[in-house]
Structure 1
Amino acid sequence: MARESYAAVLLTQGEHRFYQLAMPSDVLGECTFVTTRDTDPEAGFQRLLDKKRATEIANYIDSGHGTIPTSVILSAQEVCHLEYDSRNKTISFEILPSSFLILDGQHRVYGFKISDTKIRVPVIIYDGLNRRDESRLFIDINSKQRGVPSELLLDIKNQAEYENSEEQLFREVFDLMSTDPTSPLFGRLSPSKRAKSKISRVTFNAALKSIYPALSSRTPVEIQEILSDYIASVRDQIIRNGGDEEVIMNSVTFRALTSFFIQAARRVKDRFGPDYSVDNFNEVLMPLFDSIQLAKLSGTSQAKIIDYLDKHFKGEFQL
């Protein structure tokens, strides 16, 4: 039976003590499991694992540029016979599949395990926890940690040079609409966080993604101008029919109305050619908004809103 020893720092917080060390990724993969309810550690991994996420971690490490400094958090089990040498500042333990229960970091551990690259991983090992302690610590770790908002990650992707061409286009259109005083969304967009009565970058990107094929041949400035005229027309029609334009700021409604842009733009092009002005959008949208119930735009289902608009839009056609 193999036994390993590593330099470690003993720390105490509250009633718990733990060790901080660096462990080789291949050793980490050999001696950890993810649930005390499974006798097969590998099966436990498979049941709780998002394989795509773990594979992305492995590919990131194998790229040669990957670095994941966040500590994997483990709970030592009795079978590993963990020992701390205070004189040499080292811990030693038996390498068994059930030596350590993973409290946080299962995707990282499995990503390291399937990676071709072996690295040293920051690890925190708790010792002397019972099942209640492990369960409570697991809950505390996973309920009190807060991930970085998706809006902020999107906002800084450009700085990190991580954007793809689609994300770059959406960012440029978003920024143009956010800074152009003539845009109907001026002052109504929130780039790096969610904000009440504003459209976040995440919602905006999701909305434009549904119509991206129709936009790809246009410049960001052209897209901003066309979409601004369309949204302005929708806003005007809502107000003309006694509605509250704030409905557009609902994320579900905004995504649905943006997706419906394709139908409206196609009708404009059929009647007026590629002249996507507010007036031309008004011409094709006025009969639609005269025939619908504005309350139907406030639903919780994007698909239902789109189906409702499509049904009435097609139904109003006359020779």
Structure 2
Amino acid sequence: MTDLERIGFSSVSLVRQGEHRFYSLTLPSELLAETSFVIARDEDPVKGFQRELDEKRAREIAAYIDSGLGTIPSAIILSAQPDAELEYDSSRKSLSFKPIRKAFLIIDGQHRVYGFMLAEKAFRVPVIIYTGLSRRDETRLFIDINSKQKGVPAELLLDIKKLAEYEKDEEALLREIFDTFMQEPSSALYGKLAPASKAPGKISRSVFNTALKPLVRVFGEKSQDELYEILNAYFVALVEGVLRRHQLVDLLVNAIFFRASCAFFLIVAPKVKDRFGAIYTVDNFHYFLEQVGGNIKIGKLKGTGSAYKPIVDALEDALKGSFQL
């Protein structure tokens, strides 16, 4: 096939929206990869507007496609370039163009297209092809698509992974612990968790997972129920021994402080085990946390900015401050 040969496709829909018109159809994935391109900012600072390509993400898409389970129904958004000589036949509802290397500028979907190129399997891909766009129009369309489309919240994706049977073992364990904290009236976090979205004054599932992930390495073979009892005892003691003492009970649901409190668990738990054996009760945690509450200053608990480690350091310093021979 030479650059002068045209290629045609039928079953094409012409859509008019405002001042623009575009065509809806499907193209073979290999043809899409061969005829589309992007202009990245680092390649052309004047004309470029696309984000930098993430090769790892594209390879993940390719692997997903080749797995045999992959399906990507969302359309790739393209802008036909003048050299493609795009023509639409309204009577036949067909579209033809020259399959040259840069027939279409990718407005949205560059990682999917690159993934198609890397994949071993070929299939048809839904596409939207705009025609007659200037570079300004293409840039504005890129901005509109990437600013007005709202991605699915991370909290919702975590919440529904079980239904999709996509959970890893660690994610499943954290989900079970989160759900127990959410459902048990005795939970220190009862009424303070938001499972599928972010909510003011509550800890989202994504914040909870991020905070607890470093703790997984010390969980050992303990069951989900045992882990809940241990962690809940710690949070209850933290509230009573530290936060309530300084009238800062609501600080527990602050994302930064919650992450700091989980990191501090890794410092306090070994001390509980050394003194009381592996008996992680509220009273045993309270033995140490009450001393922390007596030594720490309110300003240190609140921290500054978005860093959680200074809070951990302040809690640890307050714990050390109680040491006596």
**TM-score interval w.r.t. the shorter chain?**
over 0.9
The aligned counterpart of 1:267 is: 271
Unaligned 5+ runs, structure 2: none
1:3 to 2, 6, 16: 6
| Match in the other structure for 2:27 | 23
Tell me the SS of whatever aligns to 2:246: coil
Q: 1:244 aligns with which of 224, 245, 248?
A: 248
Shift in CA distance, 57/254, structure 1 to aligned 2, threshold 3 Å = same
- Output the CA distance in 2 between the equivalents of 1:265 and 1:283: 12
Counterpart residue type for residue 152 of structure 1: L
Is 1:314 paired with 2:320?
yes
Matches within 5 A, 1:21-100: 21-35=25-39, 48-100=52-104
Deviation at 1:280, TM superposition (A): 0.6
* AA aligned opposite 1:302: Y
What is the count of residue pairs matched by the alignment? 316
- For residues 89-112 of structure 1, give each alpha carbon's deviation from its aligned partner in whole angstroms, at most 9, with x where no partner exists: 111111222211111111111111
1:189-217 deviation line (CA, Å, top 9, x unaligned): 11000001101110111111011111142
1:143-162 deviations in Å (ceiling 9; x for gaps):
00001111011001001111
After TM superposition, the structure 1 stretch with the greater mean CA deviation from structure 2, 23-32 or 1-10, is 1-10
Matches within 5 A, 1:104-253: 104-253=108-257
Query: Structure 1: where are the runs of 5+ without partners?
Result: none
SS at match of 2:157: helix
> Partners in 2 of 1:244 and 1:186 — Cα distance?
17
- Matched residue type, 1:3: R
For the 8 Å contact 2:8–2:94, the answer to whether it is kept is yes
Amino acid at match of 1:5: G
Give, in whole Å, the separation in 2 of the partners of 1:275 and 1:36: 58
Compute the displacement of 1:4 (Å).
Answer: 1.9
Contact between 2:38 and 2:50, CA under 8 Å: does it hold in 1? no
* Alpha-carbon distance change, 222 to 39 in structure 1, aligned in 2, over 3 angstroms: closer
Do the aligned partners of residues 47 and 171 (structure 1) sit closer, same or farther apart at CA in structure 2, a change above 3 Å counting? closer
Normalised to the residue count of structure 1, the TM-score between the two structures is 0.95
Could you tell me which residue of structure 1 aligns to residue 310 of structure 2?
304
Supply the RMSD in Å over aligned alpha carbons: 1.8
Which range is displaced more, 293-302 or 209-218? 293-302
TM-score when normalising by structure 2: 0.93
Structure 1 residue runs of 4+, over 6 Å off? 36-40, 44-47
User: Is 2:107 the partner of 1:103?
Assistant: yes
| CA gap 1:84/1:227 in 2 versus in 1, 3 angstroms | same
Give 1:84 deviation, angstroms: 0.8
Give the Å deviation of 1:315: 4.0
Whole-angstrom distance in 2 between the partners of 1:254 and 1:99 = 52
Evaluate the alpha carbon distance shift between residue 192 and residue 38 of structure 1 in structure 2; reply closer, same or farther with a 3 A threshold.
Answer: closer
Q: Per-residue deviation at 1:311?
A: 3.0
Report deviation, 1:272: 0.4
Percentage identity across paired residues of the two chains: 51
Stretch deviating more after TM superposition (85-94 or 244-253): 85-94
**How far apart, CA to CA, are the structure 1 residues paired with 2:302 and 2:108?**
40
CA distance in 2, matches of 1:37, 1:6: 33
